[in-house]
A and B are shown apart, each in its own frame.
Chain A
Amino acid sequence: MSAPLAHPAAALAALRGEVRAASWFAALGEPLTGGELEEAQGYAGALGLGDLDILPARDWADAERHLKSPDWSTAWWDGEDALRRACLAEAEERHTERALWTALTDLTTEAGDLVHGRAATAAARAGGVSAATIHVAAGAAAHAVYQVALARLAGAAALPFETKLRLFAAGRWPLGVVGKTLALF
């Protein structure tokens, strides 16, 4: 068993700061920069799904089409979830259940409210975006925060989660894998 970390809430203090400082949804629909393409390719590579093309989503409607595609990759989602469960098991070894659970719930509640507001702002600027899709954006972003929180509490080098969070922090939204493409809004 690994050595105990600091109290989970304290261990997540830095992440809390990153969440507050991030440019959530600020660059949706903007042309992808070289650095973002590299980051997205790094995310795709870390997922172990082979070579994926990076496909930019033009607008919210385009993003919604990707998110509802019947051809979406279950391997992508299941791979992330297997990593999440491994991190959770390790974090549970390192922290008491109550302290771990409370720290994660408090962080994701704060992060969820923050990213929801940012998603709503971005959607209002674009216009014509449904309340449900704003919830989806907030859910994706808050889920990314939760995954990184678990990885850090586990002391794990969870590259896909860290890379994905950096894309969110840069104002992007990785929409997931459809066929052999990773869609990035």
Chain B
Amino acid sequence: MTTLIVVKTVEELKSAPEEFREAVSKLVISHAVNELYGAQVFDEPAIAFAPTPYAKWLTCRVAMEEYGHHVRFKQLGVQMGIPEERMVPGTGKRPLSIFEFPLKTWEEFVAIKLLADLAEILQVEDLLHCAFHPLRNLARATMPEERFHAQFGEDFSAELVKTEDGKARLQAAVDAYWPYLPSFFGGSKSRNNEIFRKWNIKQRTNDEMRVDYIKRATEVATKYGLTLPALQQAA
């Protein structure tokens, strides 16, 4: 059941119920840490693999935008009183498993932008009506950039699939990364998600988001003649 409160400012958050405050803190920390991991593990290293100056500088900008998302979530966290060290890697929150695999090729980066950034879009979409308005507004600010990053994945996928070799390399990257992506959305019986929905901080269950994600990822992969390998088990 949703509990209808609206928190319009960081100042108002101080008098919100403790469970609400803890829930939004968890989300802000999670976004700050994961945005930073993504930029460090994928976006910045990808600059070296990009095939032309055009692609390199485009990747530079995308990396800076991802770092910028981390900076913005961290700034909100600081305003909320979250210690900075909780919003950077290596100090508590475990990263998503996909971040444990160092990037090795341009095709891997394109696959990540195509599919992992779509997962990020769904996560941000779920915050667009968040009851904590500073977080809602931040989600709205980052959304156009997230959409651009996914479009980047589509544009370079379209380039790669023009040749048989390029398409094979991109498909191999999709095969390698896809199995890790649906678990982005958390466990089916997540207590955190239950609390997020109770307070109207998030809208959907993890499973609803995962099902939607798999559908949308399948559509975008199909658009470029790619297939998504069968998942071993529903995450």
Given A68-B52, A69-B52, A132-B155, decide whether A109 and B64 contact each other with a Cβ distance below 8 A.
yes
Instruction: Say yes or no: is B65 at the interface (Cβ < 8 Å to chain A).
Output: yes
Chain A interface extent, by class: 20 to 34
How distant is A83 from chain B, measured CB to nearest CB, in Å?
15
A66, A77, A109, A138: the one contacting B71 at CB < 8 Å is: A109
How distant is B129 from chain A, measured CB to nearest CB, in Å?
26
Looking at the complex, which of A43-51, A139-147, A154-162, A163-171 is the stretch in contact with chain B?
A: A139-147
**B68 and A112 contacting across the interface, CB-CB below 8 Å:** yes
**A105 and B61 contacting across the interface, CB-CB below 8 Å:** no
Closest to B40 in A: A101
**B60 and A142 contacting across the interface, CB-CB below 8 Å:** yes
Instruction: Say yes or no: is B101 at the interface (Cβ < 8 Å to chain A).
Output: no
| Total contacting residues, chain B, CB less than 8 A | 21
Q: State in angstroms the CA–CA spacing of A64 and B88 once bound together.
A: 37
How distant is A126 from chain B, measured CB to nearest CB, in Å?
17
Closest to B58 in A: A136
**B54 and A136 contacting across the interface, CB-CB below 8 Å:** yes
**A138 and B54 contacting across the interface, CB-CB below 8 Å:** no
**A138 and B52 contacting across the interface, CB-CB below 8 Å:** no
Q: State in angstroms the CA–CA spacing of A67 and B60 once bound together.
A: 14
CB-defined contacts of A131 to chain B, threshold 8 Å = 148
CB-defined contacts of B152 to chain A, threshold 8 Å = 132
A81, A116, A175, A176: the one contacting B61 at CB < 8 Å is: A116
How distant is A85 from chain B, measured CB to nearest CB, in Å?
11
Q: State in angstroms the CA–CA spacing of A133 and B52 once bound together.
A: 13
**A143 and B52 contacting across the interface, CB-CB below 8 Å:** no
Instruction: Say yes or no: is B67 at the interface (Cβ < 8 Å to chain A).
Output: yes
Given A67-B53, A72-B52, A175-B53, decide whether A139 and B71 contact each other with a Cβ distance below 8 A.
no
- Name A80-108 residues within 8 Å CB distance of B: 81, 98, 105-106, 108
Residue interface bits B42-81, CB-to-A below 8 A is 1, else 0: 0000001000111011111110110110110000000000
How distant is A118 from chain B, measured CB to nearest CB, in Å?
13
Given A112-B64, A132-B152, A136-B61, decide whether A106 and B71 contact each other with a Cβ distance below 8 A.
yes
Given A106-B71, A112-B65, A132-B152, decide whether A77 and B53 contact each other with a Cβ distance below 8 A.
yes
How distant is A120 from chain B, measured CB to nearest CB, in Å?
12
Q: State in angstroms the CA–CA spacing of A66 and B54 once bound together.
A: 9
Given A106-B71, A132-B152, A135-B148, decide whether A112 and B61 contact each other with a Cβ distance below 8 A.
yes
Q: State in angstroms the CA–CA spacing of A109 and B148 once bound together.
A: 17
CB-defined contacts of A70 to chain B, threshold 8 Å = 52
Instruction: Say yes or no: is A113 at the interface (Cβ < 8 Å to chain B).
Output: yes
CB-defined contacts of A139 to chain B, threshold 8 Å = 56-62, 64
How distant is B34 from chain A, measured CB to nearest CB, in Å?
16
Q: State in angstroms the CA–CA spacing of A142 and B58 once bound together.
A: 11
Given A106-B71, A112-B68, decide whether A135 and B62 contact each other with a Cβ distance below 8 A.
yes
Given A109-B67, A113-B68, A132-B152, decide whether A72 and B53 contact each other with a Cβ distance below 8 A.
yes
CB-defined contacts of B64 to chain A, threshold 8 Å = 108-109, 112, 139, 142
Q: List 15 A-B contacts (CB under 8 A).
A: A67-B54, A67-B57, A69-B52, A77-B56, A81-B48, A98-B88, A106-B71, A109-B64, A109-B67, A135-B58, A139-B59, A139-B60, A142-B61, A143-B57, A175-B53
Which residues on B are within 8 Å of A, measured CB to CB? 48, 52-54, 56-62, 64-65, 67-68, 70-71, 88, 148, 152, 155
**With A108-B64, A135-B62, A142-B61 already in contact, 6 other A-B pairs whose C-beta atoms are closer than 8 Å:** A69-B52, A77-B53, A81-B48, A112-B68, A135-B61, A139-B58
